[in-house]
Structure 1
Amino acid sequence: MQNPRESALDVLMKVDKKEALSHIAIGETLEKYQFSDKKDRAFFTRLCQGTLERRLTIDYVINQYSKMKVNKLKPLVRALLRMGVYQILYLDQIPDSAACNECVKLAKKRGFSKLSGFVNGVLRTVSRQKENIVFPSREKDVVKYLSVSYSMPEWIVRHFLSNYSEQDTENIVRSFLEPKKTTLSWMESNGSREELVDSLKREDITVKDGELLPEAIYITHYDFLKRLSSFRQGRFIVQDESSMLAGKIADVKEGQDILDMCSAPGGKALYMADKLHGTGQVLARDLTEYKVELLEENMERTGFHNIRSQVWDARILDEDLRESMDVVLCDVPCSGLGIMGKKHDIKYNLEEKVLKELVSLQREILKTAVAYVKPGGVLIFSTCTINPKENEDNYRWLAAQPGFEPEDITSLLPEYLRIETAKEGYIQLLPGIHPCDGFFIGKLRRMK
């Protein structure tokens, strides 16, 4: 990676033009330069992620000091200003002069010499005025204040405020800007937890216990995950604790038949296959060849033989599976409002009208899901969002289906999460309040 700033510029432009999702564009660049200097790779990653996650705040600042508004700028100039302002406002270890000069150099290198003076002028003005920037007043307009302060679209802020207190809303949106920990799910079938931890430490990785489940391990100070010996040996998968919790609440027993309807990239399916200890079977499905290939990569690496994959549209009923499954996991496509801290594109690309459309799609899938559960079996319904219409409303709709009853999940939860709704069979996890992604999990049992 000869110039991490130039690599970051390329990623920011791809994302701005909607040519790639940010986590994919960043991941592909890191893969390409996996043997580059660790510091360069770390700076590239932080510059990309930081600029993207703070974009609304950065644009607010640029618009105060630029004669031309952000949305009128040429894509390359817009990307340069954004990453320059990010460095000036948020990276204390980078001198403002370096941030300005490097952006000017890139403007000239990319054929924008005539606009390099404009780039220089805006960035140097921001540098001089950064202690005097006027942000929206909380007292006058709490929505605009939270939107600009935490780089969150106003409609999403209003959505959260309509469902949660002002303090909880601020905790949620603040959490999306906090550094994200990498969480591993230990695969018991491929060696002991102690062996995994020892292997990680031998590669100079900082290891900490998870906060909710014993399978969870937090790691920091690693470079390229796929080069770790424990990764290649299938000793873990990368999985947030909220996702692990969905598998935990399923309470898998040896010998069971399990269907994961919307599985890719397969974390929950692998978590449950691990709990079967080589018995039973997990059928993991998803809509496209691409998604199933992601699942199969993880299956091959972990080496489990009690899991198979299949391309299948979850909306279409498979008569061969009717009332045949002990556990059906239905992690439906959703708005993703609970994982915006890891997938920055969501908050910028999602439209409010899509929330209603998603509820309709989810119910199509859930209507099919109930048909697969055998008498006495369970249905796990989950999403990675924070939206009562997608979550609680859908759960109540499921509970009204003939023969299904909510099942108390209190005993399956860490004591820290044993809230009142667990008795009714569901839990809504909130980032900034719980130590994990925003996630909804509900459990129902088929009584007849």
Structure 2
Amino acid sequence: MKLFPNTVKGVIYAIDEIFNQNRYADKVIEKTLKSNPKWGARDRAFVAESVYEMVRWWRLINEVSPSKDLYHLFGTYWVLQGKGLPDWREFKALEPQKIKAKYEALIGNRALKQSIPDWLDEMGAAQLGEKWDKEIDTLNQQAEVVLRVNTLKITREQLAKRLAEDGIETYAPKGYKDALVLGKRQNIFKNAAFKEGLFEVQDASSQLVAAALDVKPGMRVIDACAGSGGKSLHLAALMENKGRILSMDLEGWKLQNTKLRARRNGISIIEPKVIEGNKTIKRLKESADRVLLDVPCSGLGVLKRNPDTKWKLSPESIEKVQGIQQEIIQNYSSMVRPGGILVYATCSILPSENQQQVQKFLASEKGKDFEMVEDQKVLAQESGFDGFYIAKLKKKGTSRDSIE
């Protein structure tokens, strides 16, 4: 593949923004592509993929590069891809054989080989044991693009046919009834089917979360950590757009996104609501048939699509988020009415954020009214998709005979 100065310069700019200006990779890539409207689809794909892969392998690249010069780092990444470098002034100091020799010398060190911080390697090994080696290897692979069919408007078979007519090949993965996986990565958001609200982009593992709530049309449901509403939209489709969904979050701007997405999806039962402290939660005591707590987490299960996460985390930040997780399940569980269902979910693979948090809650005073129905520990190495944890808890007591 031939390198071009303008697109390589775009990659260099993005890497500088991410690591030297501490920006988020997805936002930087979006900004970089918008700033270069003349780039074609191939150029845009090259820049986005190169940036994400350099971010993914950042520690490894730095370890074997002859210097911290950004062009040297890009050139090192390119050599590690097994590709030849052009005769550019910026790459003169690079010797491919030396780079390859340095790489070969360190592949016995898992943290370096997998390009992760030492503390993360130690934590993963301690909590996942023999499964850690394969799990981190799987999480370092590029994520597939997965669609969730909006069943309010179209069936999976109809959408697959519609996309095929546009030259977009997909396949239906087993065990995920609303999912379609793209045959190859591309910008699906420009497709007319997306603009018509026929699908959302949502990983297959994430689609298991709404399904776990076992919702029915007419129910009152609270999505208490809704973000921009992806799981609320899925819940509304499963409820056939009948009932009421409170999509709640601390950040009002995220909920604005939910409104826009709901309109495109043809959904009318979602009501965005900003959480204004504990008083918001207290007013909703025992008001919901189903409560979803898709709590803040380390995000270690979604490293495939967010590789910069591992450079922004620390043992301290993970400990802090665990405190937030327990606080949320302790306080927000009060919104479940007797006989109702509470689902606790994370996109983490660490037991300390997952089953241990649920066990701690069930052993507490507020947790004594709940019982575990089932939980799913979804590892990337087993599913092929993101790592997730989903626990389904039932509140003791009799559920309502009628549904509002």
TM-score of the pair, normalised by structure 1:
0.82
Q: 1:274 & 1:429 partners in 2: Cα distance?
A: 23
**AA of the residue aligned to 2:324:** L
Q: Show CA shifts across 1:165-213 (max 9, x none).
A: 34x2121111122121000111100122222112211221121112331
Give the aligned residue type for 1:353. Answer: E
How far apart are residue 221 of structure 1 and its match?
3.6
CA distance in 2, matches of 1:137, 1:268: 40
- Between stretches 301-310 and 221-230, larger displacement belongs to 221-230
Contact 2:197–2:265, Cα closer than 8 Å, also in 1: yes
1:86 aligns with 2:55: no
Partner Cα distance (2:137, 2:275) in 1:
38
Partner of 1:13: 16
1:59 and 2:59 aligned: no
Counting only pairs closer than 5 Å after superposition, residues 287-302 of structure 1 correspond to structure 2 as: 287-302=250-265
Matches of 1:272 and 1:8, distance apart in 2: 38
Supply the distance in 1 between the matched residues of 2:34 and 2:381 (Cα, whole angstroms): 31
Note if 1:404 corresponds to 2:370.
yes
RMSD: 2.0
Aligned residues of 1:199 and 1:229 also touching (Cα < 8 A): no
Partners of 1:212 and 1:241 within 8 A in 2: no
CA distance in 2, matches of 1:6, 1:275: 46
Per the alignment, residue 106 of structure 2 pairs with 136
TM-score, normalised by the number of residues in structure 2:
0.91
**Number of positions where the alignment pairs a residue of Structure 1 with one of Structure 2:** 390
Residue pair 1:288, 1:311 contacting (<8 A) in 2 also: yes
CA gap 1:131/1:16 in 2 versus in 1, 3 angstroms:
closer
Structure-1 residue corresponding to 2:53:
50
Which residue in the other structure is 1:426 paired with?
A: 375
SS in 2 for 1:318: helix
Q: Are the equivalent residues in 2 in contact too, given 1:256–1:326 (CA < 8 A)? A: yes
**Residues 360 and 47 from structure 1, CA distance in 2 versus in 1: closer, same or farther, beyond 3 angstroms?**
same
8 Å Cα contact 1:315/1:364 also seen in 2 = no
- 1:83 is displaced (CA, Å) by 1.5
Q: Structure 1 residues 223, 240: CA separation in 2 closer, same or farther (over 3 Å shift)? A: closer
* Correspondence for 2:401: none
* 1:329-374 CA-partner distances (Å, limit 9, x unpaired): 0011111111112112210110111222111111221122211001
Mapping for residues 14-413 of structure 1, pairs under 5 Å: 14-31=17-34, 33=36, 36-62=39-65, 65-66=66-67, 70=68, 77=69, 79-92=70-83, 95-96=84-85, 98=86, 101=88, 104=89, 116=90, 120-121=92-93, 123=94, 125=95, 127-133=96-102, 134-136=104-106, 138=108, 145-166=109-130, 168-221=131-184, 223-313=186-276, 317-400=280-363, 401-407=367-373
Cα distance 1:56–1:316, how it changes in 2: closer, same or farther (>3 A)?
A: farther
Partners in 2 of 1:60 and 1:44 — Cα distance? 22
Structure-2 separation of matches of 1:306 and 1:369: 21
Q: What amino acid does structure 1 have at the position aligned with 2:382?
A: I
Shift of 1:324: 0.7
User: Using the alignment, how far apart are the partners of 1:270 and 1:32 within structure 2?
Assistant: 31
Judge conservation of contact 2:298–2:318 (CA < 8 Å) in 1.
Answer: yes
2:182 partner SS: strand
CA separation in 1, counterparts of 2:71 and 2:106? 25
Distance (Å, rounded) in 1 between the aligned partners of 2:39 and 2:245 = 39
The amino acid that maps onto 1:175 is T
Q: Distance in 2 between matches of 1:314 and 1:244?
A: 29
Which stretch shows the higher mean deviation, 12-21 or 345-354? 12-21
Please say if 1:4 is aligned against 2:20: no
Quote the Cα distance in structure 2 between the aligned partners of 1:383 and 1:435: 17
| Equivalent pair of 1:314/1:368 in contact (CA under 8 Å) | no
Residue 316 of structure 1 and its aligned partner are, at CA, apart by 5.3
CA distance in 1, matches of 2:19, 2:119: 20
What amino acid maps onto 1:434 in structure 2? Answer: S
Partners of 1:32 and 1:296 lie apart in 2 by 28
Would the alpha carbon gap of residues 311 and 245 (structure 1) be closer, same or farther in structure 2, given more than 3 Å must change?
A: same
Question: 1:262 touches 1:314 (CA, 8 Å); kept in 2?
Answer: no
Amino acid at match of 2:320: E
Residues 132 and 319 of structure 1, relative CA distance in 2, 3 Å threshold = closer
Query: How far, CA to CA, are the matches of 2:270 and 2:185 in structure 1?
Result: 30
Identify the residue that residue 420 of structure 1 maps to in structure 2. Answer: none
The one-letter code sitting in structure 2 at the alignment partner of 1:132 is A
Q: CA deviation at 1:220?
A: 3.5
Distance 1:383 1:285 in 2: 17
Could you say what secondary structure the match of 1:135 adopts?
helix
Q: Secondary structure at the match of 2:152?
A: helix
Q: Please name the residue that 2:400 is paired with.
A: none
Structure 2 residue ranges without an equivalent (≥5): 398-404
Q: Is residue 156–residue 180 contact of structure 2 (8 Å, CA) maintained in 1?
A: no
Could you say which residue in structure 2 is the equivalent of 1:112?
A: none
The structural deviation recorded for 1:46 is: 1.7
Q: Aligned equivalents of 1:338 and 1:18: distance in 2? A: 25
Structure 1, unpaired ranges of 5+: 71-76, 105-115, 139-144, 408-424
**How far apart in 2 are the matches of 1:280 and 1:34?**
43
Equivalent residues of 2:148, 2:200 under 8 A apart: yes
1:367-388 CA-to-partner distances (Å, cap 9, x unmatched) read 2221100111100000111222
In 2: Cα distance, 1:382 partner to 1:4 partner: 39
